[in-house]
Structure 1
Amino acid sequence: MSEATTTRARKPFYAMLYVQVLAAIAVAIALGHFWPSIAVEMKPLGDGFIKLIKMVIALVIFCTVVSGIAGMSDMKKVSRVGGKALVYFEAVSTLALLIGFAAAHLATPGAGFNVDPATLDVKAVAQYAGKAKEQTIAEFLLNIIPNTVVDAFARGDILPVVLVSILFGFVLSHLGERARPVRDLIDAGATLVFGTINVVMRLAPIGAFGAMAFTVGRYGVASLGPLIKLVLLFYVTSAVFVFAVLGPIARWSGFSIWKFLVYIKEEILIVLGTSSSDPVLPSLMQKLERLGCSKPVVGLVVPTGYVFNTDGSSIYMTLAALFVAQATNVDLSIPQQIAIFAVAMLTSKGASGVTGASFIALVGTLSVVPTIPVAGMALILGIDRFMSEARALVNVIGNGVATIVISRSEGELDVARLQAVLDGRIADAEAVELPATVRTTEPASLPVQP
């Protein structure tokens, strides 16, 4: 690799994706504030961008997981990585629930509201309560198994696609050389899929503009009103979790959380603009591979983490639950608070990606404590959109950190490459644009080929 290639000229600042997204968000906020009626009409731009990304998410997961597992000779390792990831997810998300509880008790954001539940609009929450009761735990588990292989991709749900991908990868691994033509086809398909993702991501500024313009135009900053304390507390608590919990975990794993946040700055801004973590799933997986994490670990940890590792949603659920109790003057006993905590450990799973999923899960959680009026959720319905950005953002950061941690614990992380990319010795743009088809069952080594 030539010196000229290594030191490829950087793009002008206005051509960088994160600068374009940041500018689009700023314009969207201004449009939403001064011309709200026009801003609301921009919603299809955000929805269209998210749908474009979701269109290929299932293929991204399939190609990554199948290609990674097919290249592994030890299937016990797949089980070990999956089990280790689930234990990590449960431990960290439990910490997130506890932090939400602590923040609500220390700051008491609902104190002084003295809201009479009878005066609240029950109908506004009724539709969410209905959705919260639609699915039991048994149904959730059974829904992981698709009716057909095609159904897994047609539905677009993450877990059924992961299940199908693991089964395919397992079989291909056992077939050995006989399956090489199929593995080559899947690798070629990965090139096509990630190429499509790179093209669609160029539309991220338009998507972020449409989603943010709609949020500000529809709800307006003025809608925060007396609930600004809750919103600010949630953002501060989320920041505390990222730097006080994920920060030490990252440092223990050999990297700086600050440098990692800079590395995924485009994803951070897209999540903030669209209020959803789904649009950045493919690019996050791609960046983690470029960072030195092996393809099998990335393929297993990131998609399952989107369902089971919902740190931002966990903070939100306990904080918001106690806020509603405080605002409606409901004095919760210790057993009732434990019940909320225990149920939130279950209902928070799967509450990521889609805007509003956490609100539905919270309604389901409050339903188990009859003394808290579910109608009290109407208090935060109007500001939920402003908190969804932080929820999705913490979920994404948490899953990125989890993938690096699991990779390192499995010896599937190229530490030299990790440090080189985070320190800027390998250009960020080069790291993202590298081909995504090379199976990395062993830690990669420098230099990195473009």
Structure 2
Amino acid sequence: MTDRPDRGLPSLQAEPWLADPRLQAVFDALTAEGGEARVAGGAVRNALLAMPVSDIDIATTEPPDRVMALAEKAGLTPHPTGLGHGTVTVAAGPEDARLPVEVTTLRVDVKTYGRHAEVAFTADWAEDAARRDFTMNALYCDRAGGVHDPLGGYPDLAARRVRFVGDPVLRIREDYLRILRFFRMHAIYGRDGLDREGLDACAAERAGLDSLSAERVRAEVLRLLAAPGALAVVDATIARGILNHVVPAPHDRETFAALVAIEAAVSDGSDPLRRLFALSPGDRAHVARLGERLRLSNAEAARLARLAAAGPVSPALRESERKSVLYRLGLETYRDAVLLAWARSGAGPGEESWCALHALGERWQPPRFPVSGADILARGVPPGPEVGRLLAALEDWWVATGFPDDKEAVLARLDRFGIRREGGG
């Protein structure tokens, strides 16, 4: 086949990442003996949309064993990360500035088993494109920046339309995770409404989501919730009965929508765990169900549990009470708790009293409690549970009196707690 780009499509020749000598060295190696190589998928899609490019993948007509040999011959470092599926990771550049490039041989899927497939290698770019999930991911770019579009997917990309390659039902049955990917991709790249044919297919095949591992579902759900267009796709998944299969019901759509608006107003990011909590009733039992269904990490589950136990926060709190809550909860949980309470309150994103409550975390840093167990022991208190009791009582007093910056004054308070000292003093 010729390596001539399609006419009328934009050129990526000026892209800095494409001119990177390390990437060009990989091209040199793969084409040294007549093979073809093109950047594939996400890097091309993002570059054409003027969005950041991170990972760079290359598709090639060379089979994986030849990729290994060609890379070694060129002085590059190949790693056989997925030879059975035609993938070799080639590292180029000096040791302190390696560029890892995932190189995959053109292939067709013979049989699919969810995320795994039995593949056959090919030299046909259109066959390789036909096995991809969405038309906007079936674009290629040669080393000179010429864009190749075997399936005619560029108009979908230009229109910001996420559309399955071929029959949506067949694509979904190859891997049911593509249902969630369809919504996530739209939340990131989509414009206007969801592709109707794709949406109908996702709704019809939604029961297949139950067969997916919790780990795969978790990763996709969290990425979806963090995406710019998360609200529209969450609405669609609720309306079509899809969200129930990955996030336990009931779903609090109103709080979720309010949180999205408030986060934007106060520039506090689009945290997926906070948004996941907003979708739920927020009680401990439901939080436990979320952790189990999505196989959340211990840290993620603990964060949601802290939110469930955080207690009420509102602008009605006095300044001293606000500082006490911030100290007890910690900055992350305090901010989360304020934003979630704000979202559930019905107050608008610009409500000044809530803005001030949220801003406390930026204008005040909780001090460190100045007393330790060693200080209690030094005052003659014998080791044991009494030390912990006194520390807790001292800390409560210290917080209630406004965090005084006087260690000796705090320790002097011990005399009022009726302490028992060693030796009976």
TM-score (norm 1): 0.19
Identify, as 1 or 2, the structure richer in strand.
2
Q: Which of the two has higher C-alpha Rg?
A: 2
Identify, as 1 or 2, the structure richer in helix.
1
Which structure has the higher relative contact order (CA within 8 Å, separation 6+)? 1
